[in-house]
Structure 1
Amino acid sequence: MAGAAASRERWIDVAKGVSILLVVLHHAVVKNLPMEAPEALAGVVGGWDVVTTALKPVRMPLFFVLSGFVASRAVHRPWVQVRRRALTPYYTYVVWLLLLGAFFSVERLLPMNRTQDLGELGTDLVWASTGTWFLYALAVYFLLARLLSALPATWVLSGAVTLSVVSSELGIQEWNRFSVLFHFTYFALGALAPQVVRRVAERAPVPLPVLAAAYVGFTVLLWQLDLPTGVYLLLASGLGVPLGVRSAVVLARTTRPAQVLAWIGRRTLPVYVMHTAVLATLLHLPPVLDLESGSVLRGVLHPVVVTAIAVLVPLGAHAVLLRLGATWLFALPQRRPHPRPAPATRSGQASRRSTEACASTSEGPYQVSIRPSTSSLGERSASGPSSAVNS
């Protein structure tokens, strides 16, 4: 049973690792590559654009299905037990909205949805439009799923699908506010119908190569139909999300690749919030790969190398910041409970018994430690940032 649980956890972390890599690769393709590639490499730029566009029905839908799947038990718990889970993503969103807003008010080269003034900042606090919209969406989606958890899942999913379709008619497809409206369907699927996700992960009705070929053929067909963005993404993700889940399950059976992807998948938050700043900084440094020679090979490798840098640098910065105690950048600060003084006794045995009783109290399955050890505090600090973005 322990081995089966570990296997299930690994494929989820692997899938999250793949998702964040695809997000960074997408930004490396659409933001950095066109600005650094000469006209001679227009074909390479176009080819990469086709690849990252074809992955759009997989990238964020898979991320949100996983986020909802991990939160599927929490959405049915009492509010008092889950309020921190709802507050942490929004708190982190506000922190990085301010930090990145300050950064991109100075850095103006990278194509970004920037917060231009205090008015836009106020609007972003209510309805996200910048690159940190995923964190805002996590907070809002969790609250919606918790509020709607008493309703039949089919009702909620039908309403979410309708919202996804209608969002295409608002004329905001080029803004992240469209993404906030559109992707609730996937979080609701994972949170309110987790058995569907589990069934896809545990059963393989068709081999993975067949599923991949079907996805490619289906997306090509949908492109020809010139459908509204929301309709196209919903239909394509019907194969794209299962393809992502099954690919993660297969990758999780490997050794070294699974270890690397799962390790990244447990640290998606620092990569997500910091990678655009790294991409912007690279534009002001000597080129990673000199593309002026028109080398097709360099043009093909450029987004891959830039993605690697934009992932490794935030992970390194995250480790340093945690060592410096800057956990508030990645998780809502947690107040430490103060132990109640035990009544003085002649032998001190009553005091020890009182302390031990307090330390072992529990609320349901959750152990409550009054005086956590240094190692347990360190573990909570290290896991907090990952859970904030993946809950």
Structure 2
Amino acid sequence: MHTPLPASAAPVVAGAGTSRVLWIDVAKGLSILLVVLHHAVVKNLGLDAPEPLAAVAAGWGAVTSALKPVRMPLFFVLSGYVAARAVHRPWAQVRRRALAPYYTYVVWLLLLGAFFSVERLLPMNRTQDLGELAEDLVWASTGVWFLYALALYFVLAKLLAGLPAGWVLGGAALVSALSSQLGIEQWNRFSVLFHFTYFALGALAPRVVRRLAEGPRGRWGGLLPVAAAYVALAVLLARLPLPISVHLLVASVVGVPLGLRVAAVLARSGPPARLLGWVGRRTLPIYVLHTVVLASLLHLPPLVDLEEGSVVRGVLHPLVVTAVAVLVSLAAHWVLLRLGATWLFTMPGRPARARRQAPRRSTEVRASSSEGPYQVSSRPSTSSQGERSASGPSVAVNS
């Protein structure tokens, strides 16, 4: 059984009838916001910015590139961390962990494929025909590759769970380091190959992740030295002619601890922690819907008019677009659930845990795509305080 973080380092928040470790939800919230910001920069700002703001666009591009070794590696570490006990359970008890994200992947592969076959402005990895669709069912190349990877990584981690964790992590890291040398053209397929190391770290070495999140005692929890080390490492790596996979892997050695420490420190920040935790419990609808919002914005009057060449507007543009994409995605999710479209976000059928708890009276409809970082609620239900709650089902860190 995993020992939870001390209360000072890991505030908990009530939700779904159990306690959630708040820093995990905060980390998920940070990660999904960074994902949306990245797409707002490389897709929307790249199309909207006129020539006078090329330097601003390049600056934003440098910022989001510098965060690449943090956002997705951190997400996968968290995914593996919450699956750490499940990888040691019998297949009959945990097969939904693999089937549910793959089901959600297929649903959104088809829906987004249909949408982006009509919408052609947003730069996207589009599925062009039935042949490419068949390939994507086997090896994801589109923007919903994360869900595919969650299913694949859980199966791999479970198959390898009986081996020494050090050997598994060493082999996974070697594959990650070599992945950019294999001639893979699609970035998302490269990403599927590259990121298993991080899921394996969380699933097979959860104590390491917990120690990284705990950090030293104190208000800033050792955050500033880690941040300084990350900046210094990023500057050094930029000067070295390394393959991109080696560059990302080495940078993530500091980037992942940085993300964990930022989340742990923010988890003690009061209102910001509650807001980020709230977002972190709703990452699935943001993940699958935000590119639809970004594409739609290209066909509407601009949120931030950049034609005058205002540097301030150029700096604010990705932030405004990110906020709108997140809010509209969550609003669309709210509407879809109330129309009964829960099948868009969760595999039909009751999880085994829910069946074991029956016939307890409950109005909850659980909707976890993976019982990992991408979780989403499809209820309404009532919390123990009698308040309306929309938080997703919790997977206890030490369960």
Distance 1:179 1:140, change over 3 A: same
User: Please, which runs of 5 or more residues in structure 1 have no aligned partner?
Assistant: 337-362
1:323 equivalent to 2:338? Answer yes
Where 1:389 maps in the other structure, the secondary structure is coil
Which residue in 2 is equivalent to 1:221?
Answer: 236
Report how far residue 367 of structure 1 moved: 7.3
Report how far residue 23 of structure 1 moved: 0.3
> Given the alignment, which residue of 215, 225, 229 partners 1:203?
215
Residues 37, 291 of structure 1: 8 Å contact kept:
yes
> Given the alignment, which residue of 280, 283, 298 partners 1:268?
283
Q: Which of the pair has more CA radius of gyration?
A: 1
Which residue in 2 is equivalent to 1:103?
Answer: 115
1:18 equivalent to 2:50? Answer no
Which residue in 2 is equivalent to 1:249?
Answer: 264
Distance 1:203 1:96, change over 3 A: same
Q: Normalising by structure 1, what TM-score?
A: 0.88
Report how far residue 325 of structure 1 moved: 1.6
User: Please, which runs of 5 or more residues in structure 2 have no aligned partner?
Assistant: 13-19, 376-394
Report how far residue 88 of structure 1 moved: 0.2
Distance 1:366 1:270, change over 3 A: closer
Partners of 2:38 and 2:134 in 1: CA distance: 28
Residues 31, 71 of structure 2: 8 Å contact kept:
yes
Partners of 2:131 and 2:369 in 1: CA distance: 31
Aligned 1:144-293 pairs, distance under 5 A: 144-172=156-184, 174-204=186-216, 207-293=222-308
> Given the alignment, which residue of 283, 290, 301 partners 2:316?
301
Partners of 1:157 and 1:181 in 2: CA distance: 14
Report how far residue 373 of structure 1 moved: 2.8
Distance 1:174 1:123, change over 3 A: closer
Report how far residue 6 of structure 1 moved: 4.7
Report how far residue 284 of structure 1 moved: 0.4
Partners of 2:40 and 2:94 in 1: CA distance: 36
Report how far residue 317 of structure 1 moved: 1.1
Residues 5, 214 of structure 2: 8 Å contact kept:
no
Partners of 1:330 and 1:21 in 2: CA distance: 19
Match of 2:209, as an amino acid?
A: V
Match of 1:274, as an amino acid?
A: L
> Given the alignment, which residue of 343, 351, 356 partners 1:368?
356
The number of equivalent residue pairs is: 361
> Given the alignment, which residue of 92, 112, 121 partners 1:80?
92
> Given the alignment, which residue of 74, 79, 91 partners 2:103?
91
Q: Normalising by structure 2, what TM-score?
A: 0.86
Percent identity for Structure 1 against Structure 2: 69
Report how far residue 369 of structure 1 moved: 3.4
Partners of 1:289 and 1:226 in 2: CA distance: 38
Partners of 2:345 and 2:209 in 1: CA distance: 28
Distance 1:384 1:27, change over 3 A: closer
Residues 266, 386 of structure 1: 8 Å contact kept:
no
CA deviation profile, 1:165-201 (whole Å, cap 9, x unmatched): 1211023265200000000000000000000000111
RMSD: 2.1
> Given the alignment, which residue of 41, 46, 62 partners 2:58?
46
Partners of 1:245 and 1:303 in 2: CA distance: 24
